[in-house]
Each structure stands twice: as C-alpha cells, then as structure tokens.
Amino acid sequence: MCIRDRPYILKATMKEEINIVTCEYPVDGEYSYWIKETAKHLGIDKNEIKKAADAALLSQDTFRKKCIEEGKKVIKKLEQSNRRGAVLIGRPYNTGDRHINLNLARKLKDLDIEPIPFDFIEPEPEPMPELWSRIRWGYGRKLVQSARALKHNKNIGAVIVTNFGCGPDAFIDQYLEYELKDVPHIIIELDDHQAEAGLVTRLEAFSRNFKIAERKVEKVEGRDPSKPRMSVKKYTYYVPSFMDHAYAITGALKGSNCKTVMLPPTDDESWNLGMKYAYGRECHPFISFTGDLLKAAKQPGFVAKEACYCLLYTSPSPRDRTRSRMPSSA
C-alpha cells in the first residue's frame, strides 16, 4: 500500500538527525527526467538508476498480470460451483487494511461470498466512454473500468469501500453506481465511528439481495462536455461570484469581447437546486455552484449550446477536476 502523505508523517515524527529520502514516482512522460533527478538526489550513476527502475517496473507489470490471471481462475471456480463473489472496489488503504475495514473480507466469507481484490479483475477493454472523461483521477478511472467489467460476470457483485465525503470518492462513486446499476453492490462508508454490528447488518442485507442472474450490458453514450463545439468567442461565459476576483475575471472576459454573465451570490433557490441534482456527498461549494448554474439555466435568454462556465483556480480540488472545464484557449 502507498499513502502519499507518509513521507511527511515520518518527517514530523522522526528525530531531526534522521535523513528521510523521498523519490516521487514518475508520471507518464517524466520517466527520463525522474531518472536524472533521482540519480542526482541519491548520488548514483543514472544508468544504474535506470537499470534498477526498469527491473522494478517489469516486476510490477508481471505481478499485475499474475493478479489478473488469478482473478480469472477465481471467477471460473465460482461459475463452476454456482457461488457468489464480490469485488472490493476502493483505495487499497481502505480495502486492504483489516483494521480500517473491520475485517470486511472475513465477514463476506462468513456469508459464503468470496471476496476478490479489484486488482484481480481485468479492466473493461472497451475505452472509457467520452462522457466519463470528466473523471480527472487516474486511480478513479481505474476503479470505474474495473466496475464496468463486472457486468459480464453474473456471479460477481461489488462492495464499494470508502471513508468520507468531500474527496475524490464523493465524485467517483456516482459513476461506479451508474456502471453497477444492474450488478448487486453496496457502498460501505467507514470511519472511526463505524460500528461492527452495523456493518454486519448491512452485509447480511446485501447477501439476501445478491442473486445470481444474467445482466444487461448497456453502452454509455454522450460526448465530453468540456470540449468546445464552436469558437470560444461565441460562448456566453457564466462566472460564479465566489470571490472578489470574479469582478476582475468578468471584466477581462468582457474586455476580450466575450459575452459574460456574473452570477449572483447563492440563495435558497439555487442551493435547493444544487441539493436536488448533486449526488449528495460532495462538498458545500460544489452544491452551491451547481445550483447557481442551474438557476441561471432557468432564466430567459439562456441558450444551453452557447453556455460555458468560467472557473479559475490555482490548486485543483476534487470538485474542480470533476466539472466541465472552460476551453483552454478562452
């Protein structure tokens, strides 16, 4: 398991004289740069770093393939014995920690449901639908692709394991639920106040409703709403009044000859609209902003195909990544 904040936690709790070396894992397109920087950081020849990194990546790739092969064996055995299995979908620090998830795997086995790590499931080979491209997190997209594959296995259900709202899962869970609408599934939200008896009760209810049956496989249609459909000058830009900067942004857009509307502050009407159409676990600003946009859409003169919202930020939060983005050339 990998927890991104672990180096910072260690540095805060260890003695100052202990040197903790942290080398961030490279993202796509930065592998050569990472080798160069890591060699400099560790004082080791970059060829040695590359050799070690290549070997590690090969080993990791082999491990992933073996996991998927093992998953195919498990699913085949379940089909042959007409038994049920449930894929644990979630972050590894939730699904793999028996203390955090209250020994979830053991409780499923007690109900004669075979627990399966989601790493054992081969992701849906069909590319993610264009409409789902708004999912900005790589790991979240991986979870959704694995969930999409479950529709092809009548013996397999899903247990979505999460812990709190106002994070990536608050936005990804709605996609998971959509893809799993014909698959028996349950969402387990865990925190320090989770009672074991309550978890057992929910799993028992899940087990009673988990029937082995053929499933429909529907294709998700829809285009990516963040892609511009016409010249960016022809859009009407809607700017939320979240901060005083909204006046400057509105002025800059108008100065560029763009039609611009600065939205009024959130009121009861827009808040209720946001609550009605949001998933329910998102943060306060997301619900407020969603309501502001929906209220604007009800006004006379609003033309949906010409509408574009403008939201600028410096440190992308979960809600920002999930929203449709303003065309970058605007």
Question: Domain coordinates of the chain in residue numbers?
Answer: 20-81, 82-209, 232-322
Residues 6+ apart with CB under 8 A from 135: 128, 141, 144, 171, 172, 175, 322
What is the reported pLDDT for 193? 63
Which residue matches tokens 């990472």? 34
Q: What stretch of H or E contains 110?
A: helix 104-110
Q: Which CATH class is domain 82-209?
A: alpha beta
Neighbours of 291 (CB within 10 A): 23
Residue range 40-55, pLDDT digits in tens: 988 999 999 999 999 9
What is the reported pLDDT for 192? 67
Residue range 272-281, pLDDT digits in tens: 999 998 877 7
What is the reported pLDDT for 266? 92
What is the reported pLDDT for 319? 45
What is the reported pLDDT for 221? 65
**Segments of the chain scoring below 50 in pLDDT:** 1, 314-330
Residues 6+ apart with CB under 8 A from 101: 94, 95, 161, 188, 190
Amino acid letter for position 241: S
Which residue matches tokens 């329910």? 280
- Given a contact cutoff of 8 angstroms between Cβ atoms, the answer to whether 48 and 33 are in contact is no
Task: Give the CB-side neighbour count of residue 300, counting CA atoms within 13 A.
Answer: 0
And the tokens for 136?
């900005």
Q: Is 327 helix (H, G, I), strand (E, B) or coil?
A: coil
What is the reported pLDDT for 108? 96
And the tokens for 87?
């894929």
Distance from C-alpha of 323 to C-alpha of 107, rounded to nearest angstrom: 37
What is the reported pLDDT for 295? 94
Q: Is 215 helix (H, G, I), strand (E, B) or coil?
A: coil
Distance from C-alpha of 50 to C-alpha of 33, rounded to nearest angstrom: 11
Residues 6+ apart with CB under 8 A from 20: 7, 10, 11, 14
Measuring CA to CA, how many Å separate 180 from each of 11, 60, 144, 175, 313?
41, 29, 9, 9, 33
- Given a contact cutoff of 8 angstroms between Cβ atoms, the answer to whether 285 and 242 are in contact is yes
Distance from C-alpha of 270 to C-alpha of 272, rounded to nearest angstrom: 5
What is the reported pLDDT for 330? 29
